Amino acid sequence: MLHLDQLTITQGDFRMTADWKAAKGARIAVIGPSGAGKSTLLSVVGGFFAARSGRVLWDGTDLTQMGAGARPITTVFQDQNLFPHLTIAQNLGLGLSPDLRLTRADHTRIAAALDRVGLSGMGARKPAQLSGGQQSRAALARALLRARPILLLDEPFAALGPALKFEMLELVAGLAEENNTCVLMVTHDPQEARSFAPLTCLVAGGIAHAPQSTQALLDNPPPELAAYLG
Ligand SMILES: Nc1ncnc2c1ncn2[C@@H]1O[C@H](COP(=O)(O)OP(=O)(O)OP(=O)(O)O)[C@@H](O)[C@H]1O
């Protein structure tokens, strides 16, 4: 279980609180107005930014003082963060071994992860030799290889067209279900939230609210969400 325990997050004049729990395997959309703090929330959970007070726990283990790499968490940002000078296979290998000393078993796992996202045989290419959608798949394959129980997605597919985006979301949902991964995904798109996430965390008015039913929230949005959805 992911537990955000009385978090207070400040950044300049910005202030936000979060105090809730999410079960293993929960898929949660993070939605709210621009500047409300969605990315900041993910940064705090992922270990890229420290909260002013409160704790982040996973299954009772306090992660608050752990660096991002040590947390049981994988984060995928919008820019995909693939290294341009490395091949796709090496980019994936970084998820297994930061110094790229890969065993034969590692190479087998990398090939299997590429197969899984529909990139069979493309491991030797550089990122620039893949389309935007294929790069997204590669970033997802790397996240998959890390096999951490929490996955944070900050608008990872924003650059993709609608068809490809939904294909990717389906892929993530399937993988998350298989691996019982707890996913927090920032999105601006209510349709995306509905199709991907049974639960939604509304971030608005200085509060990252406890996850609630996506359908109920979007069918009957509170004023701050209604204004944002238009
Ligand atoms: N480096 C910073 N210093 C001070 N304030 C910051 C900094 N970065 C962000 N902020 C403020 O923190 C608040 C939350 O920003 P954040 O990027 O988390 O919002 P968001 O909900 O993800 O927005 P968007 O939907 O536009 O991406 C904003 O009000 C922003 O102005």
The per-residue pLDDT for range 176-205, each reduced to its tens digit, is 898 899 999 999 999 999 999 999 999 999
Report if residue 77 sits inside a domain.
no
Interstrand relation of 212-213 and 199-204 (parallel, antiparallel or unpaired): antiparallel
- Closest Cα to atom 29, ligand 1: which residue? 35
Torsion of CA 160, 166, 170, 175, to 10 degrees: 20
Report if residue 78 sits inside a domain.
no
* Residues 131 and 35 placed together within one structural domain of the fold: no
**Number of domains the chain contains:** 2
* Residues 138 and 189 placed together within one structural domain of the fold: no
Give the Å distance between the CA of 33 and the centre of ligand 1: 11
Q: Is the pLDDT of residue 81 over 80?
A: no
Task: Give residue 80's pLDDT.
Answer: 65
* Residues 141 and 153 placed together within one structural domain of the fold: no
Reported ipTM: the value is 0.95
* Residues 35 and 142 placed together within one structural domain of the fold: no
Contact residues for 159 (Cβ-Cβ < 8 A; gap 6+):
78, 132, 136
Task: Give residue 150's pLDDT.
Answer: 96
Q: Return d(Cα 195, Cα 165) in angstroms, integer.
A: 11
Give the Å distance between the CA of 208 and the centre of ligand 1: 13
Q: What is the pTM of this model?
A: 0.91
Among the candidates 112, 129, 146, a domain finishes at 146
The per-residue pLDDT for range 11-48, each reduced to its tens digit, is 999 999 999 999 999 999 999 999 999 999 999 999 99
* Ligand 1 first shell, C-beta below 6 A: 11-12, 14, 32, 34-40, 203
Task: Give residue 79's pLDDT.
Answer: 66
Task: Give residue 230's pLDDT.
Answer: 80
Tokens 């996913």, located at residue: 183
Residue range(s) defining the domain that contains residue 99: 83-146
Q: Return d(Cα 68, Cα 207) in angstroms, integer.
A: 23
Q: Which one, of 85, 78, 81, 79, lies nearest residue 126 by Cα? A: 85
